[in-house]
Structure 1
């Protein structure tokens, strides 16, 4: 609410002034006011007041009344509400990405000094060096949009950037090949049987023959298996919080909550591993039947999730096997399912894909590989 009043200047002449209440500062929590003086008559003061009120409603507070924050300051405010909308593990991951890639570039800058050319330069830099650069672009845009909502800036400088697009390079083709064909999987499993522990053999048998995610695998308990019906229920995954501690949480998507069938040989191996685990716990004085223990464990962290990548890298190199990452066994399972005649819907349900596009991407890759052998199959059939 504004008040216009007459006052006497130092030279004895009369003039008009007004004081406009601007509300509570959302940053400091203190009331804000602005005062304008020196108007010759009440009409002049009213005109100036109306213009100021219109300007504030359209553009926010005048610069003189605003505390222009740094990017770091607005980020801290934004993150407090953002983390309530995502899982704890995702908040941990995003904070790490922001601290590593965004704040070193933007953190100390005043928000009104961040320009579109500056943002474009950072986006171009991320594109050249970071695989998931789209995530950094999206997060930076969200933070600056929050600054706009908070009336710190009039426009979001990220709105007009051009996002670079990757070409289908050799690197991306190698990345697509992160899976085994039937013969490669057979050779890998045989090497595990000959040269590794029973636990590792069972772990990769489960990954390759069920297609579950490594976080889902690490969270498995014996109660998740129904040995009489030959099924496995997926209801949780393991994640890491900001303090670096592992904890259980619901799976990636609602479609990830699923029950799938498991083949007899995998179930037999699991039973064999369960008996070995019981003996191990018995030696330690623990009755595994009285506790709902994890199916797989690691001596140091209690979870195998963090050790699988390192094991695979060493094992495949030592026994001259094609390199593969833990997630590659999920792709392997999907690819071999398609080759065995499974439908797209069956694969989607089994892998817990929320979006059929994810399943289709794998299907397209598999059929592309098959197309390359079409001419050879035809010539072999004709045989002349």
Structure 2
């Protein structure tokens, strides 16, 4: 029998790595890259390490080199946030990713080398967060963040695979929405008028158009057409409150939209414009003209926090209505329209949802009859 062919140094099978007690902790394999340098892969089991070695050799044969070196996840996330996220997405989105990395991901996995990160690392992070009392929605946000970051590393050729891709995150529960009933919405509008709330037009516009609060606070008179009995509004931006101050950004969907106003909304804005002219005269030189539709009494951007705490919450109390958020006026608009039988596609476009599935997922479970009457149809047909 001939002697088995020996392998080149650094091109053999995987070998075990042991701790001080002599216990096997992982397996490692070496191969030569197309540049002639020896490189290593590892795995928790022999099979996992062999699979990784086979893939690395195949990639090397094709001239592909994944070289994360000694880069830790901590270092990579900092680089990813700075180069691939900051000034690329909305500031509020960047801040959410940065917070998730800083508060949750980096303390748990930051010291792990990027090339050594495994699906088990990611699964354990999710389990630990759930066990600590964090919601499935928060853990799902973590999953999205890790998946995006590692996906970028794969695209950049730093690592060969996205270990988060095969990890299932917990399914977040539906966010509870609490729209006002039609009668409650009427009470809100009437009470706002009775007490002469200076933001009464904003509440009515929110109910009639479903605009987000940030979109209304960013609205300029140049975006509004009040000619004729029914006007229109162009939603072009949103006002975001960030760590670096208030910023005008693109709407949440990333694009603007045009909304036709109801007669009541048009009339409310016409009345509001006259009121604002009086406030402008009263403010005199203190007025800071930014052409905003819903500014403060001196023309500057209205703080969403102040609007909620100093105006909307007291209004709810005065109207003897249940506690609600400004955003619930948007939900009220959507449910009123859907209950009235308006097509979900129209409601999606009005609200500025990126897809109709978002509209249906958000509202179908709370609207009686949105099952389309399937059961009745089958009874009639069969």
- Which among 119, 131, 134 is matched to residue 129 of structure 1? 134
Partner of residue 5, structure 1: none
Classify 1:233/1:60 alpha carbon distance in 2 versus 1 (closer, same or farther; 3 Å): same
For 1:261 and 1:87, locate their aligned partners in 2 and report how far apart those are by CA, in whole Å. Answer: 28
Q: Deviation digits for residues 138-178 of structure 1, max 9, x if unmatched?
A: 2112323444556665544323323222567xxx5xx13x2
Q: Deviation digits for residues 309-330 of structure 1, max 9, x if unmatched?
A: 4354454356542222122111
1:316–1:323 Cα contact (<8 Å) kept = yes
2:219–2:294 Cα contact (<8 Å) kept = yes
Partner of residue 211, structure 2: 212
Q: Deviation digits for residues 296-319 of structure 1, max 9, x if unmatched?
A: 123697234343443544543565
Classify 1:56/1:305 alpha carbon distance in 2 versus 1 (closer, same or farther; 3 Å): same
Alignment of 1:338-377 (within 5 A): 338-361=338-361, 364-365=364-365, 367-368=367-368
Q: Deviation digits for residues 312-361 of structure 1, max 9, x if unmatched?
A: 44543565422221221111011112333433333233223331223334
Deviation at 1:258, TM superposition (A): 1.1
CA RMSD of aligned residues (A): 3.8
1:258–1:352 Cα contact (<8 Å) kept = no
Q: Secondary structure at the match of 1:284?
A: helix
TM-score, scaled relative to structure 1: 0.68
For 1:360 and 1:115, locate their aligned partners in 2 and report how far apart those are by CA, in whole Å. Answer: 36
Q: Deviation digits for residues 69-112 of structure 1, max 9, x if unmatched?
A: 12121112222124454334422332233323322322333334
Partner of residue 238, structure 2: 238
Q: Which structure 2 segments of 5+ residues have no match? A: 1-31, 39-55, 372-382
**Count of aligned residue pairs for this structure pair:** 317
Q: Secondary structure at the match of 2:284?
A: coil
Partner of residue 10, structure 1: none
For 1:148 and 1:307, locate their aligned partners in 2 and report how far apart those are by CA, in whole Å. Answer: 44
Q: Secondary structure at the match of 1:129?
A: coil
Alignment of 1:303-342 (within 5 A): 303-311=302-310, 312-313=312-313, 315-317=315-317, 320-342=320-342
Q: Which structure 1 segments of 5+ residues have no match? A: 1-19, 24-32, 36-51, 372-384
Partner of residue 165, structure 1: 171
1:119–1:161 Cα contact (<8 Å) kept = yes
Classify 1:303/1:94 alpha carbon distance in 2 versus 1 (closer, same or farther; 3 Å): farther
For 2:156 and 2:343, locate their aligned partners in 1 and report how far apart those are by CA, in whole Å. Answer: 50
Classify 1:222/1:34 alpha carbon distance in 2 versus 1 (closer, same or farther; 3 Å): closer
Deviation at 1:204, TM superposition (A): 0.8
Partner of residue 76, structure 1: 78
